[in-house]
Amino acid sequence: MSDAASRIATDIDFDRQGRQSGYLRAPLSRNTSGWGIVEIPIVVINNGTGPTVLFTGGVHGDEYEGPIAVSELARTLDPARVQGRIIMMPAVNIPAVLNDTRLSPVDNRDMNRCFPGNAKGTFSEMLAHYLDAVILPMVDASVDLHTAGHSGDSIPSTNMHHIADPAGMARTLAAAEAFGAPYNVVFAGVDEGATLTSSVERRGILSIGTELGGWGRVNIEGVRIARRGLRRFLDFMQVVEDNSTDDEPATRHMQVGDRAHYSFAPSAGTFEPCNLVGQTVRAGDPAGFLHFVEDVDRDPVEVSYKRDGVLWMSAGPGRVARGDTVAVVMNDFDLGGV
């Protein structure tokens, strides 16, 4: 991590009362513009006294539900109803959003593997540094909206990491229940240390993420859950009262505790899944079959589940590479241990 001052500038005054909309201006020198900038949209509503909440979407550019929900809230929320401060960034990684890709087309980096960032680094590292060093010190709670993008599908869910502090763990579980997705997953990922969520948690800030669909399309139910969930989260934080009523089922708390919950492709091929996300699966059953259509006499290879549970995520693109995740299984989380 670089301790240098951020190279990103903005006209937004985060302490000013009222609603402000504008841009973060990140320098990007390129062949056609030596002194060029990239404008990253941001809306800040500050009214009265209360906690600061950060909503982010578009950290990955091919995940659409978050940008839709955050930008809509930023346009329509009445500042007079706010007690506190809301920072809304609907399209954080704007080059990737406009390019419809997970990775930034500027530096071919996954921004959500660049935290806490580097002020003197690549574009993705510079932007991650700004969020970590400038935005997060102001924040009391964060919701980072994601889906599985083009790489897979996910049952709509919130997610979080296990938190060592029992009070912090209980509060995060309660925040996930308030958001109101069908599932909340306490998970250990394959590479979590350099994510935005990890940066938020390192600062002791309340943090939840989401996985609201995928397969490279806008998930209708995922957008609905995101819209409602953001407003319910603001109510939970006592920043904006939510007067809506619904009969949504209670959130089911789940866990993905280790890599045995993941199934990986042992070879490149065309993956045929056997189950839809949300279905109950059993260890030893086929998660799917790898087909080798280019080798006319080669038989398919079965890829199995290693755990009983509910299918949280499944592969999306058809063609997969060796080492790609093709299934993630989740189990019920023991709330008695919290």
For 44-48, 64-68, 331-335, which range has the lowest pLDDT when averaged over its residues? 331-335
**How far, in Å, CA of 232 to CA of 204, rounded?**
22
CB atoms within 10 A of CB 318: 11
Q: Over 80: is that where the pLDDT of 189 sits? A: no
At residue 2, the pLDDT reads: 47
Q: Over 50: is that where the pLDDT of 96 sits? A: yes
Q: 77 vs 14, 43, 157, 253, CA distance in Å?
A: 17, 11, 24, 30
CB atoms within 10 A of CB 286: 17
CATH class of segment(s) 261-337: mainly beta
Whether 284 and 256 have beta carbons less than 8 Å apart is answered as: no
Could you tell me which residues are beta bridge partners of residue 315? 152
At residue 60, the pLDDT reads: 98
* Cis peptide bond upstream of 116, omega within 30: yes
CB atoms within 10 A of CB 338: 14
> In the chain, which ranges are E strands?
9-10, 18-27, 37-47, 52-56, 84-89, 141-144, 152-154, 157-160, 183-187, 206-211, 252-256, 262-264, 269-273, 280-281, 286-291, 301-304, 309-315, 319-320, 325-332
DSSP 8-state symbol, 30: B
Whether 285 and 311 have beta carbons less than 8 Å apart is answered as: no
**How far, in Å, CA of 10 to CA of 91, rounded?**
16
Looking at residues 253-265, what average pLDDT do you find? 94
At residue 179, the pLDDT reads: 97
At residue 73, the pLDDT reads: 98
At residue 1, the pLDDT reads: 43
For 47-56, 88-97, 313-322, which range has the lowest pLDDT when averaged over its residues? 313-322
Could you tell me which residues are beta bridge partners of residue 41? 23
SS (H, E, C) 116-174: CCCCCCCHHHHHHHHHHHHHHHHCCEEEECCCCHHHEEECCEEEECCCCCHHHHHHHHH
Mean pLDDT for all residues in the chain: 95
Q: What is the pLDDT of residues 238-254, one digit of tens each?
A: 999 988 777 778 999 99
At residue 244, the pLDDT reads: 79
CB atoms within 10 A of CB 249: 7
Give me the residue spans of the domains in the chain: 9-255, 261-337
At residue 257, the pLDDT reads: 87
Whether 92 and 58 have beta carbons less than 8 Å apart is answered as: yes
Say what the pTM is.
0.95
Residue recorded with tokens 């409602």: 228
Looking at residues 318-332, what average pLDDT do you find? 95
Could you tell me which residues are beta bridge partners of residue 43? 21, 88
CB atoms within 10 A of CB 277: 24
Whether 90 and 70 have beta carbons less than 8 Å apart is answered as: yes
**How far, in Å, CA of 98 to CA of 75, rounded?**
20
Q: 206 vs 47, 71, 88, CA distance in Å?
A: 21, 22, 16
Q: Over 50: is that where the pLDDT of 198 sits? A: yes
At residue 243, the pLDDT reads: 82
At residue 270, the pLDDT reads: 96
- What CATH topology corresponds to 9-255? Aminopeptidase (3.40.630)
**How far, in Å, CA of 82 to CA of 324, rounded?**
44
In percent, the amount of the chain with pLDDT more than 90 equals 90
At residue 193, the pLDDT reads: 85
Two structure tokens written together for 80? 């007079």
**How far, in Å, CA of 262 to CA of 27, rounded?**
39
